[in-house]
């Protein structure tokens, strides 16, 4: 029997929490209308505005992946916070984001302003069940960029002096 749910089989299997912090164009009404038009109101929740520090862990705990469709950026504090919570990131290749999120290791990186590539990466993340593999890569990245390697290098330098 055909389902009356719209969307790809992937989108009907999970829920999306979208957060819009666009200060240039903060009007999310058109996005809400599009969500309703596609019959995805039960799968997509769109929040906008400031998230209090106390609420940040709840947002990240609810996420399987953090998607950052930046058009331009230099770096992303959100990617660093996602890593703190061991969450893989799907982002665009702008600024230094590809350096923070090594492609296929701690997340997926797609060209900016390419909605098809972004949608493909999100679909692939879920279809290929990449959450655990990429979360392990996030933990590897965190360890590589922690204070421990620097401390070890300085300690070795001091011993050899």
**What per-residue confidence (pLDDT) applies to 8?**
46
| pLDDT exceeds cutoff 50 at 5 | no
Measuring CA to CA, which residue among 97, 101, 105 is closest to residue 83? 101
More confident residue, 43 or 121: 121
pLDDT at 7: 45
Query: Per the structure block, which two tokens stand in for 68?
Result: 């950052």
Question: What is the pLDDT, as a whole number, of residue 10?
Answer: 47
Q: Take residue 49 and report the two structure tokens written for it.
A: 């505005």
Of 113, 122, 115, nearest to 67 (Cα)? 122
Beta strands in the chain (DSSP E): 16-20, 44-48, 66-68, 89-92, 107-110
State whether CATH 3.40.50.2000 applies to domain 64-160.
yes
Tell me: the pLDDT tens digits for 78-136?
A: 999 999 999 999 999 999 999 999 999 999 999 999 999 999 999 999 999 999 999 99
4-11: Cβ within 8 A, 24+ apart: 4/39, 5/39, 6/38, 6/39, 6/40, 7/38, 7/39, 7/40, 7/43, 8/123, 10/123, 10/126, 10/127, 11/40, 11/43
pLDDT of residue 140: 96
d(CA 94, CA 83): 18
Residue with tokens 């421990």: 148
Q: DSSP code of 103?
A: B
Per-residue pLDDT tens digits for 151-161: 999 999 999 98
Give the per-residue pLDDT at 60.
Answer: 92
What local confidence, expressed as pLDDT, does residue 14 receive? 59
* Domain regions of the chain by residue span: 10-50, 64-160
Do the beta carbons of residue 42 and residue 11 sit within 8 Å?
no
Confidence of residue 66 (pLDDT cuts 50, 70, 90): very high
């Amino acid at each position: 029997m055909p389902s009356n749910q719209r969307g790809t089989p992937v989108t009907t299997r999970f829920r999306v929490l979208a957060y819009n912090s666009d200060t240039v164009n903060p009007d999310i009404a058109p996005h809400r209308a599009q969500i309703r038009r596609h019959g995805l109101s039960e799968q997509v929740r769109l929040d906008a505005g400031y998230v209090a520090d106390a609420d940040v862990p709840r947002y990240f705990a609810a996420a399987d992946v953090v998607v950052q469709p930046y058009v331009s950026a230099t770096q992303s504090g959100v990617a660093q916070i996602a890593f703190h919570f061991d969450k893989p990131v799907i982002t665009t290749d702008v600024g230094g984001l590809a350096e923070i999120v090594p492609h296929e290791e701690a997340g997926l990186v797609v060209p900016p302003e390419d909605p098809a590539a972004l949608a493909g990466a999100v679909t692939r993340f879920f279809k290929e069940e990449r959450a655990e593999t990429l979360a392990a890569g996030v933990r590897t990245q965190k360890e590589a960029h922690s204070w421990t390697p620097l401390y070890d290098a300085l300690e070795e330098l001091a011993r050899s002096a």
